[in-house]
Amino acid sequence: MSLQGKIAVVTGGSRGIGRAVCLRLAQLGAFVYVNYVSGVKAAEETVEIIKEAGGKAIPVGFDVADADAVQAAFKKIVKEAGSVDILVNNAGITRDGIMARMKESDWDSVLDTNLKGAFLCSKAVSRSMMKKKSGRIVNISSVSGFTGNSGQVNYAAAKAGLVGFTKSMAREYASRNITVNSIAPGYIETEMTALLEVETQEQIKGEIPLGEFGKCEDIAGAVAYLVSEDGGYITGQTLHVNGGMYM
């Protein structure tokens, strides 16, 4: 598997799953734009780790939910790099709470970042991919979008929405040799899941056939496969990486 010469943009690449994806793509030879919104230090750290390992990367700060900022960032990236071969829409947030008490702003911010963000970035990158007649887009969904999750009506709606978005975009762009897929992680060891009570973590593990939370590298490996030549005949699909908790 080689991504030598490819240009990749990973939204929310500063930490967690996004950082692992950046490291993996860089390890395979891609030049990686590591996106963040506020965590510039973490993004720079990700870039440092990549460079120390002999890879190429640069941090790029913009809010995926801000249409003007997204447009400006991708314009600059395409001008600098010539084109974008790989886009990983990974940036995501949670604003959990039972529906009766969920504020409209919690609904809006999760939908704006997790769903509209993917639309804005994909739209911004598609022109360069169409010109090149090749491209790979991977949207990071979630098992919550398939099973639903109490306390996550906003998050589950956004993540389920990403699947419909993925399939529709895959159909629209297939003739330009652009593949669009999603990955639905189960529970992965990150800052997001570290927030769960230890008791809740143990209860969840009991419901996972493989008995453990996944690692960020498990998702990074799945992304690498989908964006590689080996994954070239796969489009419009969701790859479930969840230890068997949802089949």
Q: Which residues are tagged catalytic?
A: 155
Among 122, 154, 182, 190, binds ligand NDP (CB under 6 A): 190
Residue 7 contacts residue 83 (beta carbons within 8 Å): yes
The answer to the question of residue 65 lying near ligand NDP (CB under 6 A) is: yes
Instruction: Tell the smallest beta-carbon distance from residue 130 to ligand NDP (Å).
Output: 24
The answer to the question of residue 239 lying near ligand NDP (CB under 6 A) is: no
The answer to the question of residue 38 lying near ligand NDP (CB under 6 A) is: yes
Q: 14 or 126, CB closer to ligand NDP?
A: 14
Residue 220 and residue 226: Cα distance in Å, rounded? 10
Per-residue interface string for the shown chain with ligand NDP, residues 209-238, x marking contact by CB under 6 A: ------------------------------
How many residues sit close enough to ligand NDP to count as binding (CB under 6 A)? 30
Contact positions with ligand NDP (CB under 6 A) in 156-185: 185
33 φ/ψ sector (left φ>0, alpha ψ -120 to 50, else beta): beta
Among 28, 106, 113, 220, binds ligand NDP (CB under 6 A): 113
Site stretch for ligand NDP (CB under 6 A), options 6-14, 25-33, 77-85, 95-103: 6-14
Residue 114 contacts residue 162 (beta carbons within 8 Å): yes
Per-residue interface string for the shown chain with ligand NDP, residues 8-37, x marking contact by CB under 6 A: ---xx-xxxxx----------------xxx
The answer to the question of residue 197 lying near ligand NDP (CB under 6 A) is: no
The answer to the question of residue 64 lying near ligand NDP (CB under 6 A) is: yes
Instruction: Tell the smallest beta-carbon distance from residue 80 to ligand NDP (Å).
Output: 19
Instruction: Tell the smallest beta-carbon distance from residue 175 to ligand NDP (Å).
Output: 28
| Amino acid at residue number 18 | G
The site for ligand NDP (CB under 6 A) is made up of: 11-12, 14-18, 35-39, 42, 63-65, 90-93, 113, 140, 142, 185, 187-188, 190-193
